[in-house]
Amino acid sequence: MTSEAPAPLYCSDLSLQAGEPLIGSATPTARYVLLEYTGAWGAKALNESDLPEAVKRQIDSFVKGDPLAKALLIRQPGGVKALKPRLILASVDEHSPGLYGTVLENYTDLLDLDLSAFFAGSREGIARLSDDPVFLVCTNGRRDPCCARRGASVSNALANAAAYQSFPRVWESTHIGGHRFAANLIVLPHGLLYGRVDPQSALAILSTAQDGQAYLPNLRGRTVYPPPAQAADLYLRSQTGERALTAFALRQTETLDASTWRVVFERRSDGKVYRLNVRRTATGQSVPDSCQLDKFTPVTRYSVELEGADTDTND
């Protein structure tokens, strides 16, 4: 008599079972380099790709030199292949976010582009795309099984629902961050990162993004904010009912101690200032970072209290 093999353990299931909160889990990122690549994606997709070595070094050097930069390989859902690869550059700025793109004759064209200068304001040779958002869904199963297991159905649902334009709006991508929150979906250029997305919630996110709003139930955080501000943003929107991405402006994130912050937002419509006290507490639980089950992360929670609101914007 043979015994059945134990069912595989998936990190996304274990995180959900532990009740790990989504909010405050978005790694702060302000600049995204997205390169279309339809070859095989390895666990370390950029380094293991067949891209020219000089191109890989250039991208790797830029990302390592900028703690707020991330580079991702992307491809269209359904295996659609373009004749020439596309490059999309996203500047995630709360006040003037932007998407820029071009079609490359070949990958070595990237060697003529100074990425640091581009993000510093030199836009020559890279056209600004429309204001329509772009959606990235991590489907890199070689990096973690949960990403392919949960991401593929989400990317397909979005691709079927989103109208095709001159530049595709829905892309599969390599590692966004946080396997245990799969499926992960990011909306650019606003930097809204969502987790535990399924096809149904993906369509809700698509609808709200088209209206310039945030979808709160699956929100991990806005990547242009540090984690305490991500938690304060969700709390403030939940309390006020404001969903528009332009409703508030982050004015300050002040560290009070190792686990406490004061976050200040201003409402743009009337100048009202909201001061929120944010505290991070440990739960005593931990969850695996990935399906390899070799590294664990403590489960923490953010609590937020509104300190006060006024119309003085000079504090």
pLDDT in tens, 213-242: 999 999 999 999 999 999 999 999 999 999
Question: Is the pLDDT at 30 greater than 50, yes or no?
Answer: yes
- Exposed/middle/buried for residue 305 (C-beta within 10 Å: 0-12, 13-18, 19+): exposed
- For residues 43 and 4, is the Cβ–Cβ distance under 8 A? no
Q: Which pLDDT score is estimated for 103?
A: 93
Rounded to the nearest 5 degrees, what angle is found at the Cα of 239, between the Cα atoms of 238 and 243? 50
Lowest-confidence region among 51-55, 127-131, 183-187, 257-261: 127-131
Rounded to the nearest 5 degrees, what angle is found at the Cα of 82, between the Cα atoms of 79 and 84? 140
φ/ψ (deg, to 5) at 3: -90, 145
75 plus 216 within the same structural domain = yes
Confidence band of 310 (pLDDT split at 50, 70, 90): low
- For residues 103 and 86, is the Cβ–Cβ distance under 8 A? yes
209 plus 259 within the same structural domain = no
Q: Which pLDDT score is estimated for 2?
A: 55
254 plus 159 within the same structural domain = no
CATH number of the domain encompassing residue 294: 3.10.450
Q: Which pLDDT score is estimated for 78?
A: 82
Q: What is the mean pLDDT of the chain?
A: 92
Question: Is the pLDDT at 279 greater than 80, yes or no?
Answer: yes
CATH number of the domain encompassing residue 19: 3.40.30.10
Confidence band of 315 (pLDDT split at 50, 70, 90): very low
Among left, alpha and beta (phi > 0; psi -120 to 50; other), residue 112 is: alpha
Question: Is the pLDDT at 311 greater than 70, yes or no?
Answer: no
163 plus 281 within the same structural domain = no
Q: Alpha helices, DSSP H only, in 162-288?
A: 199-210, 227-240
253 plus 137 within the same structural domain = no
Question: Is the pLDDT at 309 greater than 70, yes or no?
Answer: no
Question: Is the pLDDT at 72 greater than 70, yes or no?
Answer: yes
User: What is the rounded CA–CA span in Å between residue 278 and residue 269?
Assistant: 24
SS3 content of the chain, % helix, strand, coil (to 5): 25, 30, 40
301 plus 156 within the same structural domain = no
Confidence band of 167 (pLDDT split at 50, 70, 90): low
- Select from 221, 250, 285 the last residue of a domain: 221
Confidence band of 123 (pLDDT split at 50, 70, 90): confident
185 plus 285 within the same structural domain = no
267-271 long-range Cβ contacts below 8 angstroms, 24+ apart: 267/240, 267/242, 270/311, 271/311, 271/313
Q: Is position 315 within any domain? A: no
Question: Is the pLDDT at 264 greater than 90, yes or no?
Answer: yes
53 plus 107 within the same structural domain = yes
85 plus 119 within the same structural domain = yes
- Select from 167, 193, 221 the last residue of a domain: 221
- Select from 205, 221, 237 the last residue of a domain: 221
Q: Is position 4 within any domain? A: no
Question: Is the pLDDT at 305 greater than 50, yes or no?
Answer: yes
Q: Which pLDDT score is estimated for 96?
A: 85
Q: Which pLDDT score is estimated for 80?
A: 76
**Total of domains in the chain:** 2
Q: Which pLDDT score is estimated for 163?
A: 66
The domain in which residue 41 lies consists of 11-221
Lowest-confidence region among 22-36, 182-196, 301-315: 301-315
Q: Which pLDDT score is estimated for 166?
A: 58
This model's pTM is above 0.85: yes
